[in-house]
Structure 1
């Protein structure tokens, strides 16, 4: 497999005056699992379409080893983009369809594809266009994983799957990535289900890059402080408050703050409990419209 670090340099994608993605500059290192998150309309699908060479940037560049990605057949064969397709015209059986896929995916593992077909219980002899929505999603991710492309992009790939099937998908992503490391980008709204998959998180907001950080670094930006209302208020008085809950004399405040060891010790000495903040909570507050922080 070739090295596939992807470099985006001031990438903008316009539709008329509207910028779907706006001045994006960052790198995707090879071998990592990225979570791509953003509210509806943030530009996630546009970004993935640019990375898959489905679109050419209006301005800026996307390169691998200094070569432009768009319409570069040598590079493009190393990228697989998994998204919700319209299969109405696909009348051949699943096994025939998979044979056709194998022909144009250089790293495709047919044996592994059959393992996935079994795990997802996809009927091989059923015409593709007769599969349920959930089965089509499972077929899509089977192709994405079995292709073992150096860069694999999943755009809300679990759409239509029920919870047990989604869990199989998540486990297969982790297992196969450990055996065959490659760059995987997972676009999702299901943060509470999927956050444990991510090594790094890319957050888009209104087409712009809000942040790109390792997930452990990101989660350290927040904390929940719980204890007596008086002691909690005193401890968080100069911090950016994201969320407050009160029950009787007990108060819990979620703050956007990287707590030092000294602050943690001080909290314990004040009888306060420090808890983690979920990626979902951080994301919600970081992308909140208007004044995103409580002042009191």
Structure 2
């Protein structure tokens, strides 16, 4: 659904993306990870046609995003990290904006609002940023577009709301859809995504499925580091150490997103080489 070839983008002389290549298919939730300023938002804005590449090819659902074809725009939705909303009732916002998306489901929208404990009769005026974000997340999911892009969606949400967000997202994706969630708060995506993309130094440096990661890496606790075979990375924990190691014994362990990201940042060459080895 998304094909990117040798994509280059810069703000003036400041390079953001250089010869970036990516191929993403439907039916998956992709986690786009990276530090602040790595270019995650810029990449999302290229995909939806709000920023234009300097060089390279970009194809989304058979369209060139920068041409802004109306049919293309009906099948893609970007939830930005920050937004300004009019001082209107939720129902008025819905009436104005939902018609742009042919597959919009008011029933789903109402269900998501209820999950977030936001009354449908509320007005956007006077809402906190976190409450407005819940409304916008609900709207984004209800559009049922083929491509859904979310830029730092958990920023502004409190801990209970982040739990609600994960629950909603886990059941929202349909087989014909593709979702990209960009964040630097990697712990918020635990047990949620199917595939990890890591953007650093103007390139995608890591592009692997969660299944592939847990096949090659083991995430566990150890009292003593000398007990761990093929140790890659460790952090102090309440009970000894939290560790990432090569999964030489084919153990079945749960992916720890924060540990994975920290391990990649600390031991990038070793981690990347492990997954590049055939």
- Fold match by TM threshold 0.5: yes
* Deviations 1:55-100, CA, capped at 9 Å, x for gaps: 1111111113654222231222210001134326x12211100111
For 1:193 and 1:52, the matched residues in 2 are separated by: 24
Is 1:259–2:248 an aligned residue pair?
Answer: yes
- What SS is found at the alignment partner of 1:198? coil
- What SS is found at the alignment partner of 1:196? coil
Q: Which runs of 5+ in 1 are unaligned?
A: 265-273
Report if aligned partners of 2:196, 2:208 keep a CA contact under 8 Å in 1.
Answer: yes
Q: Which runs of 5+ in 2 are unaligned?
A: 272-278
Is 1:286–2:245 an aligned residue pair?
Answer: no
- From 142, 154, 157, the counterpart of 2:153: 157
Taking structure 1 as the reference length, the TM-score comes to: 0.80
- What SS is found at the alignment partner of 2:150? strand
CA RMSD of aligned residues (A): 3.0
Is 1:91–2:87 an aligned residue pair?
Answer: yes
* Deviations 1:124-154, CA, capped at 9 Å, x for gaps: 4443232111111101101111001000011
Larger Rg, first or second structure (1 or 2)? 1
Aligned 1:34-183 pairs, distance under 5 A: 34-64=30-60, 67-73=63-69, 74-87=71-84, 90-178=86-174, 181-183=176-178
For 2:259 and 2:214, the matched residues in 1 are separated by: 10
C-alpha spacing 1:290/1:192, structure 2 compared with 1 (3 Å): closer
Report if aligned partners of 1:120, 1:165 keep a CA contact under 8 Å in 2.
Answer: yes
**Aligned length in residues:** 269
C-alpha spacing 1:188/1:104, structure 2 compared with 1 (3 Å): same
For 1:246 and 1:158, the matched residues in 2 are separated by: 25
C-alpha spacing 1:18/1:184, structure 2 compared with 1 (3 Å): same
For 2:242 and 2:90, the matched residues in 1 are separated by: 52
4+ long deviations beyond 4 Å: 227-230, 244-247, 250-253, 274-277, 289-293
User: Higher mean Cα deviation, 213-222 or 18-27?
Assistant: 213-222
C-alpha spacing 1:68/1:196, structure 2 compared with 1 (3 Å): same
Aligned 1:194-205 pairs, distance under 5 A: 194-205=189-200
Is 1:192–2:187 an aligned residue pair?
Answer: yes
* Deviations 1:28-55, CA, capped at 9 Å, x for gaps: 1012111111111111111111111111
- What SS is found at the alignment partner of 1:177? coil
For 1:127 and 1:189, the matched residues in 2 are separated by: 31
